[in-house]
Structure formats: C-alpha cells, structure tokens
Chain A
Amino acid sequence: MRITENLKSNEELAFEILFRKYYVRLCCFANKFIANSAESEEIVQEVFLNIWKKRNHLKFDNEIRPYLFKSVQNLCFNFIEHKKVTDNYYSVIEAVYKNQTEEFNNYETVLYNELQLRVDNAIESLPEQCRKIFQMSRQDGLKYAEIAETLGLSVKTVETQMSRALSKLKEELKDYLVILIVCLFLN
C-alpha cells in the first residue's frame, strides 16, 4: 500500500545505529547535571523516544548530534527545576550551569578526550595511599567515614588525603581546564 510506505525499516536501522552511538555519551552528559545514573538513563530514553516520534522531520545522521545534546540538557534542567525545591544540591548545579547553554559543544571534543586521558594518568601518578583513598571515594562510591573505617584511619586523615589528591589533579590539569572552560565561553 503506497500511502504508508514512507516508514521504512531502514529508518529503524538508522535509528538503532544512532542510539548505540550516542546513548552512553548522552547518559554521561546527563549524569553530570543529574548525578543519578538511573534518572540520567531515563532522560536519555525519553529524548530518543521523542526523536523517534518526530522521525518524519528529522534525519538520523550526525547532524542530529547538537539536537540530541541540547534535548538532554533541556530535560535535565526541567528535572533540576523540580528537584531544587527540596534538594539544594540542584540549586547549586542550576546556579553553576543554567546559563552555560552550549555546554555540550565542548563535550567529547578531541580536547575533552585528551583531558579524560590526562585525568586517568594523573590519578595513576598519585602517591599510593592518596590514590587508594581517591579511588575508594570516586570509583567505589564510599563515603569518607566508610573509607576511614575500611583503612583504619581517621576521617580527618581521609579528608587531608582527598584534598591532596584533588589539588594535585587540579594542578596537573590546570592548562586543559582553562582551555576547556574558556571554550565554553567562546561558544
């Protein structure tokens, strides 16, 4: 039947490729604002569902990239708008990022990927105990008190070591961060 032939299975395939290419990146991007992996995934799912609904007006190629990031960011800010009433965490996030409308332009550029590599290297090069504490905090998601208990240290010591790790990372990544943040403003 000709009337309905405009919806091809090729379109579904193109959509799946797009999804597989961008899903994880978009989740990471959303998680930066949302700080909740389940909610971040939910938001990205919603964005993909919306573009599927609008598929007659959109092309599933790389040109859609800014649209994807922009849509995710918009939904994140809707989420934050609701959450900030009861959680000041989101008030801070909003205050810091609200006017950074083109945040995603920087995201996953060559520079950004290089920064990722620098961060990984910088963590590796931390003094052993310092690195251990930092990884327990970041990668294992343990609270300072839990780290202190596991390692038989005082919370104060954990805090000091974390400060050392963070200062060192900041120092090592200074140049990249400056360029990255400056880029944000140029955009």
Chain B
Amino acid sequence: MEESIRINLIHKFLNKETSESETAEILNWVSASEENREEFRKAHEIFQLSKRNQFQSEIDIDMAWNKLNSRMPQLKDKPKIVYLDIFRKVAAAVLIVLAVGFGSIWTNDYFFGGLKSAIIQFEAPKGEKSKIVLADGSLVWLNSQTILKYDALNPRKVSIVGEAYFEVKTDRANPFEVSTASGMKVKVTGTKFNLRNFTGESCVETTLDEGEVIIEGINSEQLTVLKPGQQARYDIQSNRLNVSEVSTEIYSLWKNNELRFADISFSELIPRIERWYGVSIEFDSGISNKDRFTMTIKTESLRELLNMMKLTSKFNYDINGAQITIHAK
C-alpha cells in the first residue's frame, strides 16, 4: 500500500467509513508487523487529538455526576439512629457476635468505649419486608412499615412497632423480651411467634407457633402464659388480655414471599386473603362453601385474585378501599 493512500485509508477506517474489504485489508496490514501497528498508532493519535477538545466540551460533567450519584448506594448517617443497609446489617451483627463472644468487659469498656447504650434501629419501608439475624442468632422478619429497635449491648431486648415474626434462639438463662409501645411485653426463652401492633391499632396481637411465651401487662405483671396454637389479643385501653385458639399459620403468612393454598374452602380462604392483602372481607351466607381452591399467589393484585376465583366460583365483589364485600350471584 502506498503511504498517502494508506494514511487516508486509516483515517477513513477510524471514521468508520471503510467497506468490509477495506477493513479486512487494514486488519491484515496491522497484523503483519509491529512497524505497521506503530504507524497506525501514530495516525490514531493524530485522529484522537484533532477532536479531543470538541469531545471534551461535549461531556456534561454535572449530568454525569448526578447520574453516578443516583447509582451510588446512599449513605446518610443519622446521629443516634442508624438505617443500615444489608452490608452493614451483617457487619453490625458480626461485630456484636464478636463482642458478645469476647465477654462483657471487653464489650462495654473496649469496644463501645464505655457507652451506656447503642441503639440500633431497623426499618422495613412501605411495601418491603425484611429479615434480620440478631447477634444471638434469633431471626426476625419485619412486615412492611415495621420498626425494630434494640440496644447493641443487649440484643435480646427489642422493641417493635408494626408486625414481626420471631424465631428466638433458646437461652434459658437469658430470656428474650419484646416490648411494645403500649407497655405490653412478651418474654420468651426460645420460641416462634408473630406479634402485631401497628400504630393506631387498638390491640396487640401475639400468635404462638412453637414454644412458650409469657405476656406481661403495663406494670410488668404476668397476664398469661401462651401455648402453641393460641393467640393473645391485648387491649391497650383496658390492659386486658383475651386468649383464643387459632390456625396460627395464617398470622405469619405475610413473611413468606408467596401464598399457597391447596384444596381449601371459601371460608378457610377468606382470613388468609385478609391477612395477605391487609383488607377486611365481608361475605353473605349465600356463598357456596363447597367450591375448593388451589392456587399460589405471588405478585397478583387482590382484584386479579378475585377475578381468578370467579372463573370457578359464582360470586360478585365490590372493593371499597380496604373493605371488600362478596355476594352470591
């Protein structure tokens, strides 16, 4: 290739104007020798430099920074209460496990530098559920819009606003305690239970799957010892408790990512739907309870679910906010 033709061809190539065969020719040429590649690099450098200023002026650095900033995991520390991301949740848990493992003197005086308390707060935002492993190995699932707080120096004493499911690690010597804004407390040694007390609700509902829990009233007086299969409804106004037998699994359905039914009747289905969607359903006695339903709900809306059920069962429904009415056709 003659030099003046070649220099032009390289330029055309860099401009992406060469035909396939011309590009192949360039590829052969650069593959042939280091000398050729060096010549290409020189031509490329001129090509680059002759547009560099323009290229630079076309970049909007502020826009680029905003774009990057929106992709950066945000880290806004609050003075006392900390919203932890996953990484820091794990780090905090590990640190606390270490601290507990190395004994309380070290924990208090060395690690926390004599701090009296270190409040850790977890919050599951609206529409999101989260699962937390506490330093003692206990598991806590937080329902949407639920806040769990505890002192890092004493992770077996937590407080809750909202709804949470606990799987508490057994430790007879060191009872696990859940307190609520109402003053009612649940004390356990090792157990699985669901606790619900959203702001504005008039009662605290504790539903026991396994183990045993002690429910204490506002003055730390023992109100009852709950057995598996029982639900305690604590009335905040009167500081009184009402215990009943329930199908406990319905009350912790929310912590799963999907809801499965196999061959169940209308009347069994309704409370499950109420819990899953957080609605209240009224249905008239004309509805046949003979229809059986088998389904899995993941992301379906309530309307989608009801329409699906209507395919096999005869009813109509009205949705009015969180109030659903179902009537026979």
Contact = CB atoms under 8 A, between A and B. Distances in A.
A162 B8 CA distance: 7
Given A3-B152, A35-B16, A166 B65 contact: no
Nearest to B82: A1
Interface string A145-187: 0000000000000010011001101100100010011001000
A19 B40 CA distance: 31
B64 interface: yes
Given A2-B113, A88-B20, A181-B38, A20 B65 contact: yes
A45 B64 CA distance: 8
A1 B48 CA distance: 51
A92 B7 contact: no
A84 to B, nearest CB: 10
A35 B13 CA distance: 11
Contacts of B13: 89, 92
A166 B31 contact: no
Given A88-B24, A89-B23, A95 B37 contact: yes
Contacts of B73: 52-53
A16 interface: yes
Interface in A1-55: 1-5, 7, 9, 12, 16, 19-20, 23-24, 27-28, 31-32, 35, 37, 41, 45, 48-49, 52-53
Contacts of A53: 73
A60 interface: no
B54 to A, nearest CB: 5
B15 interface: yes
Interface residues of B, number: 65
Assign chain A's interface to a size class.
Answer: 35 or more
Nearest to A88: B23
A115 interface: yes
**Which label, helix, strand, loop or mixed, suits the secondary structure of the B interface?**
helix
A35 B48 CA distance: 10
Contacts of A5: 77
B328 interface: no
B7 A177 contact: no
Interface string B193-235: 0000000000000000000000000000000000000000000
Given A3-B118, A28-B55, A163-B7, A143 B15 contact: yes
B8 A159 contact: yes
A77 B92 CA distance: 38
A138 interface: yes
Contacts of B91: 3
Nearest to A25: B56
B27 A163 contact: no
A74 interface: no
Contact of B52 (A97, A116, A144): A116
17 contacts: A2-B113, A3-B88, A3-B95, A5-B77, A19-B64, A32-B48, A41-B59, A45-B68, A49-B71, A89-B16, A91-B27, A95-B31, A96-B37, A96-B44, A100-B41, A167-B4, A173-B42
Interface of A: 1-5, 7, 9, 12, 16, 19-20, 23-24, 27-28, 31-32, 35, 37, 41, 45, 48-49, 52-53, 88-89, 91-92, 95-97, 100, 115-116, 119-120, 123, 134, 137-139, 143-144, 159, 162-163, 166-167, 169-170, 173, 177, 180-181, 184
- 7 smallest beta-carbon distances between A and B, as pairs: A119-B49, A177-B42, A163-B8, A88-B23, A1-B82, A163-B4, A166-B7
